[in-house]
Chains A and B, each alone.
Chain A
Amino acid sequence: MTTPAAGREAGELHVVGKGLPKVDAAAKVTGAIAYADDIDLPGMLFCKLLRSQHPYARIVSIDTSAARAMPGVVAVITGDDLPVKYGIMPTCEDELALEHEKVRFVGDPVAAVAAVDEETALAACRAIEVGYEPLEAVESIEQALVSPDDEPIHGYAGPANVHRLAALEFGDVDAGFAEAAHVREDVFFFEGNTHLPMEQHSATAQAVGDKVTLWSSTQDPHYVHRALAKVLGLPMGSVRVVAAPHGGGFGGKCDPFSHEIAVCKLSLMTGRPVKCTLTREEVFYTHRGRHPVLMWVRTGVDRDGRILAMHFRSALDGGAYGSYGPASTLYTGALQTTTYAIPAYRFEGARVFTNKAPCGPKRGHGTPQPRFALEVHLDKLAADLGIDPVELRRRNYVRPFTRTVNWLRITSCGLGEVTDRVLEASGYEHRVKRPGHGMGFAVSSYMCGAGLPIYWNTMPHSECILNVGRGGVTLLSGATDIGQGSDTVLATIAAEELGLSPGDIRLVTGDTGLTPVDLGSYSSRVTFMAGNAAREAAARMRELLVRAVAEEKGCAPDEVAVADGRIGLIAFEEAAALAEARFGALSTRGSYTPPQGIGGRYKGAGVGPSPAYSYSAAVVDLDADGRSGEIRVNKVWLGHDIGRSINELAVRGQVEGGVYMGLGEVLMEAQAYRDGLLRQPSMLDYKSLTFLDMPEVETILVETLDPEGPYGAKEVGQGPLLPVIPAVVSAVHEALGVWVDEVPVTPDKVVRALDARAKGKEPRYGPKSFPQIPYPPLVKVAPPDAATAAL
């Protein structure tokens, strides 16, 4: 079901909005596509990394002589060979491809071997003798806040093992609380979890002379390119990174990784191609997944449930390295305001280092945890006030074309409509309550691409080149299709402008040597940003073709229709020949840079701004067993403000995938540790939903036609995951009368909440308190004035 499109009439569009098959579907389902691990080059060597088995230890010696002497071993490298530090965020470049001073988590790489086959490489890794001096491992947020007996995990930041602190206040929060008729506080915990992509990370490097090409299963070849040039000490022009066809990322392939650097170094040393494919266990330890986050939230409301002030605190367990940590920290406080109009808002966040696999971005980056806390907190507030939880939310919804208290620019906003539609479809408001059955409701919002690049620069975020010639139409874009369908989106946009079919567009993507830049497949930015760049390039090409035809026929350009493979009355190929004869080589460009002024100007304002926000609402229907605590989700209704579907089939696929991932996170997934070791580093024990667990999903798309999105389109890759988690928690409460304030909501936690109630205690399972954190003095930011707040 799609609402009729306002603005540009749906009838005017020929391929945009249609549920056409993905352009790469046939190649994928027939196995014709060569993923990174399918690459097999003549003379190729195989690389294995030796990884630490200690959570925290000083390296006192590394002896590689036995490994080097083994037959079949061609090269062995250690940290001394790659001494330059790197990291995705310029403020915390704290990683070495191979550690040589100390290891900080089980899985930290210390040496790499290139050998004639994987088994030899593995045997050689085992023959490397590393002398370790174990240090006392830091295993929890609480422990990281206390000054360690041994040295801190990193020599920067602090105090203790604190990585990053933030403290921001927008408006007068104390005054808001003083005025409030009711104030409520809650504490929540969201356990970490991991991406679980079907495809393991894999990278193959081929050096020729002092130049190297890397094919890798990565989400952002551009950032890998930068890191490689830096660590290898090569000019950017000597390094080429190609994103191989991708078997799933979800944020787990957004950092530059040690295996990518190691294979390049080994190939440069040996002159032979070198491949490294991680094992599944290595993928679990490579991680960069969802941060465990402890949260405290306090909200003051008036008698009618209108929010007057909110204070939100978060503490993130970051694991051993910086990764995207500074951004992750700010994301736990940034998007509360994009769904609810909060007139005064205070956020205090902290990220700590622990001796665990580094956390980073996972679908929803830093926002599913606070979204869970916020939505459940609002349910409890509504119950305190005796107001229906949906009604309480509606009273606080943001309005379209406004600016939030933390200066985020809201444009199109279908929050009210997605709410109406899921309530109607699910019958939520007319449900008959009975013990053991529950329905829950929640909403959320997500960005359509980060408004600012990861490293400061004023260049475009996405660029495209469109070539038309005797070989057809070729679109060059740095964007990387990680399964989300960006190739299909770009081909569809180019085809729409040129009156062709998506299958007519040849794509060259994700290749830093051939394609203009795209920052990568993260922050749900590709449809919006690369889409706009592709549209601009294609519109310029269309103009050339139309001009050539108009001049040939002696008519006005606006009399030349572009559709169905024809420019005017002439076949596309013929029109292209006319244009080439007239203008020379046909090549057009498109670029996208997010507009200025979509966020604030305070320190920390770089996280949260986006040219547009998507909106989602979910209703979950489930049964929960009052004895065993088992939960059976029956159905999920997910309403999503997509702006406009470029490909409706792909949009629905993303919604269903997001619901699937959200259910896994809320019901069973946990990246949990014992003595520094992962409890479940295999797909045998780390469970996600099977076909037998996955409920029916009813997807309801709402089109708000964003004024800046390509054809009005917004994101769908991440947003729909967000409301699923709190909606499940809410439904469990309705079914059993207990709150589980900790994700995942496993049966044992439900049972413990039921037992607490049976003993006359608070009917709840969850964290009891929030730790004392040495937050810095608040940075006070004046909210936008009334004139600025209404766009």
Chain B
Amino acid sequence: MAVFVPTSLEELLTARAERPGLDLVAGGTDLVVEVNFGRHRLEDVASLSRVPELGGWRREGPAGPGGHLVLGSGLTYTEMLDPTLAELLPSLAQAARTVGSPQIRNAGTLGGNLGTASPAGDTLPVLAALEAEVLLGSAAGTRLVPLGEFVTGPKRTALAPDEVILAARVPVARGHQEFLKVGTRNAMVIAVCSVALVLDEQARQVRVGLGSVGPVPIRALEAERFAAEVVDWSTGRFSGGEADLRRFGELVGAAARPIDDHRSIASYRRRAVEVCARRALERTMSRQAA
């Protein structure tokens, strides 16, 4: 077993091109668990932690709508809680806060969450609701893939053996955001289900991403169309009544494709996404006027 510690992106991409399928380790919070459970045998491995191009985040284009945020794949969950970024992407910060323990949040990264592509990956429903694209790079160049095409199945992605996840590219949206997660307990817990809700006041869209209720993160498109009709777009707040909340919850529940497993049962997962979705929409009523 060889361990590579590249110190530049170029070095990393070269190593990956020379050894397709080379294991990549950033925080190791998923990989090491797989190794310890005997589900994965480490061959050659490259550490991503010293590749400066993968770290941090930056703005691209205009600061407001129309612009983008480029989140490096090495961005840790702790860094997602940074107040400047949390203000721009509050739902991502809410999701990051529910991940593991402080130690796990210091080590785990956005790229790791994308690369593992677990149905329970906490940032994935948020990235779905934000309509993020994933920036992939190889020695041959880069490509941008919409999240829905990047995650192809449970723990399966469109990442080619010679590619590396460079970043997630997220359009800047103005409006309320929420992330809610149901788990067995309040920390160090894998989601039974999760819901991300993003209001885009410019586009007058409500977007809903669901986690842990299907093989891949799910967009609840019908529920989104319905919700856009019950938001007062002059304030960016939900303006309907109890019947609208119920309908919204039902539509979100109908979009879910949950299964029974060792963490919960399908019927409860569907119920829980309904409850989380209506709670999320209800919470937009507390949005402060811009």
Contact = CB atoms under 8 A, between A and B. Distances in A.
Interface in A685-699: 685, 687-693
A453 interface: no
Interface in A724-779: 746-748, 751-752
A747 B185 contact: no
Interface string B263-278: 1110110011011100
Given A684-B33, A685-B263, A748-B267, A690 B186 contact: yes
A684 B271 contact: no
Nearest to A628: B275
A747 B270 CA distance: 13
B182 A680 contact: no
Contacts of B33: 684
Contacts of B271: 627-629, 748, 751
Contact of B190 (A684, A688, A746): A684
A573 interface: no
Contact of B262 (A674, A688, A693, A751): A674
A628 B182 contact: yes
A392 B75 CA distance: 60
B31 to A, nearest CB: 14
Given A628-B271, A751-B268, A693 B182 contact: no
Contacts of A680: 262
Given A630-B182, A748-B265, A685 B190 contact: yes
A625 B275 CA distance: 10
B184 A687 contact: yes
A744 to B, nearest CB: 10
A747 B272 contact: yes
Contacts of A603: none
Contact of A748 (B185, B188, B264, B275): B264
B35 interface: no
A751 B192 CA distance: 15
A751 B193 CA distance: 15
Interface string B175-191: 00000001011111110
A679 interface: yes
A692 B186 CA distance: 6
Contacts of A684: 33, 190
B185 A687 contact: yes
A236 interface: no
Given A680-B262, A685-B262, A748-B265, A628 B185 contact: no
A121 to B, nearest CB: 15
A10 B187 CA distance: 44
Interface in B239-277: 262-265, 267-268, 271-272, 274-276
Nearest to A689: B185
A122 to B, nearest CB: 10
A668 B190 contact: no
A384 to B, nearest CB: 31
A751 B267 CA distance: 10
Interface in A557-604: none
Contacts of B274: 627
A691 B187 contact: yes
A751 B264 CA distance: 13
B262 A692 contact: no
Contacts of A685: 190, 262-263
Interface in B158-198: 182, 184-190
A668 B184 contact: yes
A628 B272 contact: yes
Please indicate which of the listed interface residues B184, B265, B268, B271 has the most CB atoms of chain A within 10 Å of its own CB.
B184
Nearest to B186: A692
Nearest to B265: A748
Nearest to A750: B268
Interface in B85-144: none
B281 to A, nearest CB: 14
Given A628-B271, A747-B272, A748-B265, A690 B190 contact: no
Nearest to B271: A751
Contacts of B184: 668, 687, 746
Given A684-B190, A685-B262, A748-B267, A668 B185 contact: yes
Interface in A621-635: 625, 627-630
Interface in A647-692: 668, 672, 674, 679-680, 682, 684-685, 687-692
Nearest to B276: A628
Nearest to B278: A627
Contacts of A751: 267-268, 271
Contacts of B272: 628, 747
Please indicate which of the listed interface residues B37, B185, B186 has the most CB atoms of chain A within 10 Å of its own CB.
B185
A779 B264 CA distance: 44
Interface string A598-642: 000000000000000000000000000101111000000000000
Nearest to A691: B187
B186 A693 contact: yes
Contacts of B268: 629, 747-748, 751
A679 B260 CA distance: 12
B189 A687 contact: yes
B274 to A, nearest CB: 8
A555 B189 CA distance: 70
B267 to A, nearest CB: 7
Interface string B22-51: 000000000001000100000000000000
A746 B188 CA distance: 18
Please indicate which of the listed interface residues B33, B265, B274 has the most CB atoms of chain A within 10 Å of its own CB.
B265
A453 B189 CA distance: 43
A693 B262 CA distance: 21
A684 B188 CA distance: 8
A454 to B, nearest CB: 36
Contact of B188 (A628, A672, A679, A690): A690
Contacts of B276: 628
Interface string A691-710: 11100000000000000000
A747 B276 CA distance: 14
A690 B262 CA distance: 20
B256 to A, nearest CB: 14
A777 B98 CA distance: 56
A748 B193 CA distance: 13
B185 to A, nearest CB: 5
B275 A693 contact: no
Contacts of B187: 690-693
A693 B265 contact: no
B139 to A, nearest CB: 36
B190 A693 contact: no
A684 B101 CA distance: 12
Contacts of A748: 264-265, 267-268, 271
A685 B261 CA distance: 11
Contacts of A679: 262
Contact of A690 (B185, B264, B265, B267): B185
A690 B184 CA distance: 11
Interface of A: 625, 627-630, 668, 672, 674, 679-680, 682, 684-685, 687-693, 746-748, 751-752
Given A627-B275, A684-B190, A748-B268, 15 more contacts: A625-B275, A628-B271, A628-B275, A629-B268, A668-B185, A672-B262, A679-B262, A682-B37, A685-B263, A687-B184, A690-B185, A690-B187, A692-B186, A746-B184, A747-B268
11 contacts: A627-B271, A628-B271, A628-B272, A629-B271, A630-B182, A684-B33, A684-B190, A685-B190, A687-B185, A688-B185, A689-B185
